[in-house]
Structure 1
């Protein structure tokens, strides 16, 4: 007993730390994706960014599927894949559109409401139980958003609404992913994400097509790579460690992106916006513990 007990305990601890490290990789991926999106938004439309992101993603995922064997892409739920990616494309559009117009920290703070919207939509669409405690936390998270956007103070603009709408759309896509995960391989979910979204993003991009110059291609490659690496790192983190262990690392995105926005773009976050961000993070932390 003494030989195996400490060993299993040390293995669990090591796995937890590896999960934390993978979540750190996801945080880095999100920060680099925001940076590349901000740089590209100066000259390219949001649909163009999404188009190039899908092209890069399709090349990478297609190569992985070729090595793994095309059978890994088998699905009997193509309609759910299409629905998921219509929602996911809406989420991405709102996120990248807001990245080019709002302080980076505000966009990330609004994005942190996704788990709260997911809980609400799961109750409405999937008939999952919504406790009074979780309902209260959704209201708390929305109060944090209002503190950041401040309706009536001139801060509630199209980009703000796009960020909020993108968070709701992401929540819908997460619900679809939850239903796909038991039957479809993660690689299949990523593959159909690029296949479905590429023609839609391309159609939107054709209206305002602007040929990228050579200086933009590193950012294009980076936005495509980090979009995939963020999802992969999260999946690895959650496979190695429990949600409560890795989520505090994800919350580091908020102060880190605020520092990044201040350092690179001179963005400042006032006291009320900081309080709103703290409220959203607190609502998420409490939501992890809620029953």
Structure 2
């Protein structure tokens, strides 16, 4: 049973992961604006793959145990979908900006809730469907269709959120029989394999200073995932997940003060609506998890 101290630690770890992931996205925006996005993502996944391989090699059973999965096709799909989602999101950072991209991407928990029925066979009640509808109304407030010149790039973070939702649902599906260490291994290795041909095709020479930024990007990716795993290890996921939304605040600070972005009123209002709907959905999910099954 989780203790209060564990819950506090889990919250702080989740907040720390939000800070690190915000820094990661800021570095991705910088590198993606200077070099080809596919090359940047490829190098990031090379380091990620090396990390998970080294981690597996030191674990009981070694690499052979890490590759042993009951769902090879689903694990491959997870890795490919995640690397495609990362590419889409970095493209959105470069062409749309950090703030608006993350404001739209924040709807992914709503997509998870909406898709959990057809994908996992879970029941989604009317309260959560109402929250989902309100959340998507928030996305429309952010995008302002019909009130401004609509940019096709505005759809990219939504597509990215959809892919991340599918990735999350597949992760929950394979977790029924595969341990987290196996899923972590397959994510890194498959992502690197899938991205290598595309990234090498778009290879560009990098400045020595930007190789330092690339190293920082890889370190933030590893540290962020480590903090996230530790947060879920010491506290219930449903209890700490809402604090992941703090990444939006950190992203807004980076966007405004480092990249000269503007936090437009419609984006702020829409993001608040999306986050509120997402928090309600997470709360309902937690309530349903502790409710006794009806006979």
Output the TM-score relative to the length of structure 1: 0.90
CA deviation after TM superposition for structure 1 residue 213, in Å: 2.0
Structure 1, unpaired ranges of 5+: 1-7
Aligned match of 1:37 in 21, 28, 32?
28
What is aligned with 1:70? 63
**SS, match of residue 42 in structure 1:** helix
Match in the other structure for 2:267:
273
Q: Tell me which residue corresponds to 1:197.
A: 191
CA shift digits 1:237-280 (9 cap, x unpaired): 12322345423422211122111111111111111111001001
Q: Which is further off, 250-259 or 236-245?
A: 236-245
Question: SS at 2:3's partner residue?
Answer: helix
Q: Match for 2:124 among 130, 136, 139?
A: 130
Larger CA deviation: 201-210 vs 94-103: 201-210
Where does residue 93 of structure 1 map in the other structure?
87
User: Would the aligned equivalents of 1:56 and 1:221 in 2 still touch at CA under 8 Å?
Assistant: no
- Determine the structure 1 residue equivalent to 2:152: 158
**CA–CA separation in structure 2 for the residues paired with 1:104 and 1:75:** 36
DSSP-derived class of the 1:210 partner: coil
Corresponding residue to 1:142 among 113, 126, 136: 136
Q: Does 1:172 align with 2:163?
A: no
Matches within 5 A, 1:1-291: 12-68=3-59, 69-73=62-66, 74-154=68-148, 156-290=150-284, 291=288
Q: Unaligned 5+ residue runs, structure 2?
A: 289-295
Per-residue CA shift, 1:119-167, capped at 9, x if unaligned? 1111122222121111111111111111111123446423221111010
